[in-house]
Amino acid sequence: MQSQTFVFFGIVGSGKGTQVKLLTDFLKGKDGKETVYAGTGEGFRQVVNSDTYAGKLVKEKLDRGELIDDFFANSLIANILVSSLSPEKNLIADGYPRTISQSKVFEDMMKFFKREQVKIIYIEVGKAEAMKRNLLRGRHDDTEAGLAKRFDEYVNNVVPAMNYFKEKSGYIVHTINGEQSVENVHKDIISKLGYSF
């Protein structure tokens, strides 16, 4: 079975991280292949904790709820792919691309690594539900104003970044209703991808 490539899109609070993990475990059980996880969230956290000047600048941006610069996100993902991706491994990108210019770079990366089929999984959650879930998480930076800003940022930048792929050959966008139980979201993803349990 050929290795697969997946890209997850979803607003903070959509349960994206949980679904990425569930899909990774499902794939491992299905075909035994290793999955390379290319996520910017983890990468940014490592940079922030690295006690470097770049870390300080990234932290300031994140604290203001801003998207991190394209070159930075591109280089983080490129690094992961260069060091870890091989033909026999699956790939899951998470939290990237987040702008149209990142989408163009991602497309180039996929061409370079000969990944012709890319499955995009968009976990759709409305603004009210996303706000409710994030406030329940109770993270210190999750204020209503901060969340509203992140939601707008998402709609203005990230959704167009995803829509960029809609007309591209080899890219399929699967929209999943994220306002159901974790289990049902996972089941929907699996069936949209054409697997059976």
Residue 91 host element (H or E): strand 90-94
**Quick one: pLDDT at residue 1?**
64
Give the residue among 164, 36, 25, 52 at the shortest CA–CA distance from 101. 164
3-state secondary structure of 197: coil
Question: What value does the mean pLDDT take over residues 11-20?
Answer: 93
Stretch 88-103: mean pLDDT: 96
More confident residue, 91 or 134: 91
Q: How confident is the model at residue 197 (pLDDT cuts 50, 70, 90)?
A: low
What pLDDT is attached to residue 27?
Answer: 94
